[in-house]
Structure 1
Amino acid sequence: MHRRRQCSLRMPLGQCITLHSAAAAADPLPQCGTHRQGEAIMEHGSVTDSTASTFSIVEEDHTLANSVRFVLNQDPRVAFCGYSIPHPADNKVNIRVQTTGDPAKDVLKDSLQDLMVMCQHVRGTFDTAVTQFRQNNPTGMNIDQNKKK
């Protein structure tokens, strides 16, 4: 796992910065590279309809986007969810969320929290399995197939 990916999944939700500005409302999809330093998530949506928004996440790719899309589609409050990467050279993901009534931002935050819980469970299960393996096999694994035990 890349260090960047690990940091992204462990980032507390309070550190994600969402922009609410007149410029964002006037231009729902700003040009590439217009995010300011330190911003992780930008919300592009209508100021009158909070149930549909597109969220741009910088420095991420299919790994996070597909996981978030999966978790969002499990939520009964979600009417539509999808993601796109504007250009292969960009490290940016656009996630579109349309809900049945709740604010899209809240549904996305809940889904990110659920994804973090899933990742923590997988990590805990993996760490437990590694610990058990090391206890049962103090000499380690023999990965050289030419050698016999």
Structure 2
Amino acid sequence: MTETVDVPIIASDVPVYAHPGDAGADLIAAEAVRLGPGERATVATGVRIALPEGFVAFVVPRSGLAAKHGITVVNAPGTIDAGYRGEIKVILLNTDTHEAHDIQVGDRIAQMIVMQVPRARFVPVDTLPESVRGDGGFGSTGYKKDGVLA
């Protein structure tokens, strides 16, 4: 069974889920923007929401824009906290080094995923419990194939 949460919203274009079971609802551009090669822009959506306490919304790229045009969300995932009441804007980046891309009013530019999040209580300790990974940093999560780290 899928749980739903009511999210009060002010928007001329309310985000919608394209298909049953989709995690992200599409955010629509409220302004036209031309993204030159390698350029980024903050694009208005005209959407303002009031998330309940204990929830967060993440703004993530649309795979079609990324695959077809090299358009991504710079700070993905963008985090919308429960206390934020301003307009949701999306920072888009054109990763294509040769072609500009035009965003038109009404274009689907990103997806918004609403999730419940627990509040963490950080407990100071002198040592941490052991783990398989340990303190390995960047690049340390490879897997072993035939006993060799790949």
Taking structure 1 as the reference length, the TM-score comes to 0.32
Higher strand share: 2
Taking CA–CA contacts closer than 8 Å with sequence separation of 6 or more, which of the two structures ends up with the larger relative contact order?
2
